[in-house]
């Protein structure tokens, strides 16, 4: 496992990048990278959680922006994300961490023109909770 032997700074940089990319439709697993990083650098748990959460939230906001600037004539009203977003509004983005569903929720929130700040806050909370649970499982007892 020599390839996992990276400095904390290199690992954190990779974690931010992977977290950002994981919030797009690219098949990147930031959770596995967080787990591997924390197994090598458990003392960096706070930094890892903060950076992974911020990277993943930033990627979710890029998806939100893609939906926001998509022309309204696009026929997205039949997609399944519309009902939860219309019912719960920005709070539905607490589920933005869920694979595939979360991407659609982020794009849909932008398309429905939900305000960016509550969207970002709910994304951040949901993603932080997920990464916190992963960190708790990854760290030695």
Per-residue pLDDT of the chain (141 residues; tens, 9 = 90+): 455 567 889 989 999 999 999 988 777 889 999 999 999 899 999 999 999 999 999 999 999 999 999 887 666 666 777 888 989 999 999 999 998 889 989 999 999 999 999 999 999 999 999 999 999 999 877
* Owner of token pair 């039949």: 78
- CA dist 141 to 34, 42, 135, Å? 17, 11, 11
* Packed helices 8-22 and 30-40: angle between N→C axes, nearest 10 degrees: 170
Which residue, 120, 60, 128, 130, is CA-closest to 90? 120
pLDDT at site 127: 97
């Amino acid at each position: 496992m020599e390839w996992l032997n990276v400095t904390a700074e290199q690992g954190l940089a990779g974690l931010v990048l992977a977290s950002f990319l994981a919030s797009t439709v690219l098949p990147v697993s930031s959770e596995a990278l967080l787990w591997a990083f924390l197994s090598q650098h458990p003392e960096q748990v706070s930094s890892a959680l903060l950076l992974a959460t911020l990277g993943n939230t930033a990627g979710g906001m890029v998806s939100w922006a893609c939906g926001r600037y998509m022309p309204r004539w696009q026929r997205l009203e039949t997609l399944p994300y519309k009902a939860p977003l219309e019912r719960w509004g920005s709070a539905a983005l607490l589920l933005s961490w869920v694979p595939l569903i979360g991407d659609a929720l982020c794009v849909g929130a932008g398309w429905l023109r939900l305000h960016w700040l509550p969207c970002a806050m709910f994304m951040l909370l949901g993603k932080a909770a997920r990464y916190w649970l992963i960190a708790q499982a990854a760290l030695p007892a």
